[in-house]
Amino acid sequence: MRNDAEAQHAAAMEKLRSALPRAGGTALPNLVAGEWVPGGPDTRETIDPTTGRSLADVTIAAPSTVDHAVATAREAGARWWNTDGQDRSRAMRKVADLIRDRADYLGLADTLDVGRPIRDTVTRDTERAARLFEYWAGATDRLRGATVPVQPGLFNVVLREPYGVVGAITPWNYPLTNAATKLAPALATGNAVVLKPAEDSPLSALLLGQCLLDAGLPAGLVSVLTGPGDVTGEAIVGHPAVEKITFTGSTEVGRKIGSRCGELLKSVSLELGGKSPMLVFPDADLDGAADAAVYTAFLNAGQTCTAGTRLLLHQSIADDMLGRMKERLAVLRIGDPLDEGTDIGPIVSQRQLATVRAYVASGLEQGAKPIDVALEVPEGGCFHPPVIFTDVEPTMRIAQEEIFGPVLSVFVFDDVGKAVDLANDTPYGLAASIWTSELALATELAAALQAGIVWTNCVHMLHPGSPYGGYKASGVGLEMGDEAIGQHMKTKSVWTATEDWRSPWASVRHEL
């Protein structure tokens, strides 16, 4: 990056530093048991992927810190659950207000930490995080159980109780909204949370921790612990008093965490990777479809779990669609995410950039053909241009594996059955989108596609009230919607005799 861009980023970090919590020492502190505890001694830098410069030293929370956080979370959680639901609701609404008030800083944190364009972080992401807290604030006094008509003389009540302490582990993409997605339903259902953001993107979680404190949530109810997965993450997952793990991240790590929770017989929800198909039929609005195809593949530089990374085009419109997409790509701007006009920022890290490059190389080696996308890419930083591959075989690595970068694979089909087979032909099943004006076809396809989320003539629509989760290797369990209540609460069946009850043996008296 040019010197002026480096200066702009240094100034932005100075601004952010004034809002980040401090507790002495050079490293950023952690929120533990209601207090910011000084950072260190073990630390790791978080890097700005646009400039390659260090943004801050981040603490590596040791297992002993996890123990302390969990112990206070248990007490705070019990108090929180016994607080009037309307009071809990008010506190959660206050969190939403503070997120909006501090949107500039929260958005800036994610833009510097992961390179997501400021236009999206400051507005869209912060608003989404605020709305998550507002939506779930509405649930705190509506957590109903049930009565079951069992048999005369017995009264059965189904009670719901929080797990107590939920361990929440989030990935580096969309750091703020992923943290809010974990925190809001867990808190609304009466739990305490120990949150571990990804080591590549911890800044907005720390700022969010300050919002929770300032909103008056009980001390210790939420701890924010930074550190790598193999230290801090494993300590949270393995802690006996953390009864529920909610994880968002890669399928590989999800499997590991799922297995560990299986050994420990601990409840776990896993929101994992994707390789989502977008199917376009000849009767679709092709302009709308071309807009969506470019957006879903390259949004956030392709680092979106629900990204439409496999584009399935009916052969009669394939060339037309690719032409329309090229026009749209030509006017996209790849550049400094601090610039308001930037559409695509950098990849999160050098390590992830190397992964993306390796996938592009494997696509070329295996015979896929990149279409010419003449886009200017800034020098330095972790930038990667959008790549659209045609002539992709379903068995190629670029067709099967999640790349998590701006790489789109295009396939051509000539009948509906082949389109469905292609769409379902990966281990993943997170999302899918269908583009057609024929309602009957859309309905048939929605049933046939193996995906937890299906969009018809739209993409990336989410709402806290609508369940979110993956089929197959894309996940276990659901976030959001009423389904999320069951994911965060235990169910207890309570039987009460309303008439004299006697054991069956009481009628069979044995002679002494």
CA distance 179 to 167: 12
- Which of 404, 413, 435, 471 is close enough to bind ligand NDP by CB under 6 A? 404
- Span from 23-31, 158-166, 227-235, 411-419 in contact with ligand NDP (CB under 6 A): 227-235
CA distance 94 to 77: 18
- Span from 21-29, 81-89, 224-232, 275-283 in contact with ligand NDP (CB under 6 A): 224-232
Residues 427-446 that bind ligand NDP (CB under 6 A): 430
- Span from 140-148, 217-225, 265-273, 360-368 in contact with ligand NDP (CB under 6 A): 265-273
Question: Given the complex with ligand NDP, which of 190 and 209 has the nearer CB atom?
Answer: 209
Q: Is 271 designated active site? A: yes
Helix (H), strand (E), coil (C) string for 62-125: CHHHHHHHHHHHHHHHHHHHCCCHHHHHHHHHHHHHHHHHCHHHHHHHHHHHHCCCHHHHHHHH
Q: Does 246 sit near ligand NDP (CB under 6 A)?
A: no
CA distance 282 to 499: 68
Q: Which of 211, 261, 305, 382 is catalytic?
A: 305
Q: Does 237 sit near ligand NDP (CB under 6 A)?
A: yes
Q: Which of 234, 243, 271, 479 is catalytic?
A: 271
Q: Does 471 sit near ligand NDP (CB under 6 A)?
A: no
- Which of 272, 321, 347, 388 is close enough to bind ligand NDP by CB under 6 A? 272
Q: Does 238 sit near ligand NDP (CB under 6 A)?
A: no
472 forms bridges with which residues in the sheet?
428
Q: Does 269 sit near ligand NDP (CB under 6 A)?
A: no
User: 136 in helix, strand or coil?
Assistant: helix
Q: Does 284 sit near ligand NDP (CB under 6 A)?
A: no
Closest CA to 213 of 32, 84, 87: 32
Cis before 197? omega within 30: no
> How many residues lie near ligand NDP (CB under 6 A)?
31
Could you give the strand order of the β-sheet that contains 489-497, starting from the edge strand earlier in sequence? 146-148, 154-162, 489-497
Q: Does 229 sit near ligand NDP (CB under 6 A)?
A: yes
Q: Are 218 and 76 in contact (CB under 8 A)?
A: yes
- Which of 70, 217, 257, 301 is close enough to bind ligand NDP by CB under 6 A? 257
Question: Given the complex with ligand NDP, which of 61 and 279 has the nearer CB atom?
Answer: 61
Q: Does 273 sit near ligand NDP (CB under 6 A)?
A: yes
Q: Is 199 designated active site? A: no
- Span from 100-108, 134-142, 270-278, 281-289 in contact with ligand NDP (CB under 6 A): 270-278
- Which of 55, 198, 289, 407 is close enough to bind ligand NDP by CB under 6 A? 198
∠ CA 432-438-440 to the nearest 5 degrees? 80
Q: How far is the CB of 475 from ligand NDP (least distance, A)?
A: 6
Please, what's the b/e burial string for 300-326 (b: 16 or more CB within 10 A of its CB; e: otherwise)? Answer: bbbbbbbbbbbbbbbeebbeebbebbb
Q: How far is the CB of 59 from ligand NDP (least distance, A)?
A: 12
Q: How many residues does the chain have?
A: 512
Structure tokens at 147: 């009565």
27 forms bridges with which residues in the sheet?
none
Q: Does 230 sit near ligand NDP (CB under 6 A)?
A: yes
Lookup result for tokens 């929080």 = 162
| Cβ-based neighbour number of residue 186 at 10 Å | 28
CA distance 298 to 484: 29
User: 363 in helix, strand or coil?
Assistant: helix
Q: Does 336 sit near ligand NDP (CB under 6 A)?
A: no
- Which of 209, 277, 386, 470 is close enough to bind ligand NDP by CB under 6 A? 470
Q: How far is the CB of 328 from ligand NDP (least distance, A)?
A: 24
Pairing of strands 276-280, 267-271: unpaired
Q: How far is the CB of 243 from ligand NDP (least distance, A)?
A: 16
Q: How far is the CB of 444 from ligand NDP (least distance, A)?
A: 26
Residues 138-197 that bind ligand NDP (CB under 6 A): 169-173, 178, 196
Q: How far is the CB of 205 from ligand NDP (least distance, A)?
A: 10
Which phi and psi (to 5°) does residue 404 adopt? 60, 50
**Which stretches of the chain bind ligand NDP, using CB under 6 A?**
169-173, 178, 196, 198-199, 228-230, 233-234, 237, 248-250, 253, 256-257, 271-274, 305, 402, 404, 430, 470, 475
Active site residues per annotation = 271, 305
